[in-house]
Structure 1
Amino acid sequence: MKKEDYLPNLVDIESPLSDEELYVLSQQYNNEGDFVSVQTRFNYAWGLIKSRKVEDQQLGVQILAQVYKDTPSRRRECLYYLAIGSYKLGEYTDARKYCDLLLQIEPDDPQSAKLRQIIEDKLAKEGMIGIAIVGGVIAVGAAVLGAVLSQKKR
Structure 2
Amino acid sequence: MSSSLPYAAEVESPLKPDELQVLRAQYEKEGEYVGIQTKFNYAWGLIKSSSRSEQQEGVRMLSEIFRTSPERRRECLYYLALGNFKLGNYSEARRYNDLLLEFEGENMQAGGLKTLIDDRVAKEGMMGVAIVGGIAVAAGVIGSVLFKGARRR
Who is 2:84 aligned against?
Answer: 86
Q: Which of 75, 95, 108 is residue 93 of structure 2 equivalent to? A: 95
**Structure 1 SS opposite 2:27:** helix
Measured after TM superposition, the shift of residue 109 of structure 1 is 1.6
Who is 1:73 aligned against?
Answer: 71
Who is 1:135 aligned against?
Answer: none
User: Which structure would you say has the larger Rg?
Assistant: 1
Who is 2:134 aligned against?
Answer: none
Measured after TM superposition, the shift of residue 108 of structure 1 is 2.2
- Distance (whole Å) between structure 2 residues aligned to residue 22 and residue 55 of structure 1: 14
Distance 1:80 1:7, change over 3 A: closer
- Distance (whole Å) between structure 2 residues aligned to residue 112 and residue 90 of structure 1: 17
Who is 2:25 aligned against?
Answer: 27
- Whether the 8 Å CA contact 2:78–2:100 is kept in 1: the answer is yes
Who is 1:112 aligned against?
Answer: 110
- Distance (whole Å) between structure 2 residues aligned to residue 56 and residue 95 of structure 1: 17
Q: Between Structure 1 and Structure 2, how many residues are aligned? A: 130
Tell me the TM-score normalised to structure 1 length. Answer: 0.77
- Any gaps of 5 or more consecutive residues in structure 1? 132-154
Deviations 1:87-140 (A, max 9, x none): 000111110011111111112222211111110111111117977xxxxxxxxx
Who is 1:37 aligned against?
Answer: 35
Specify the code of the residue in structure 2 equivalent to 1:73: E
Measured after TM superposition, the shift of residue 62 of structure 1 is 0.2
- Whether the 8 Å CA contact 2:59–2:84 is kept in 1: the answer is yes
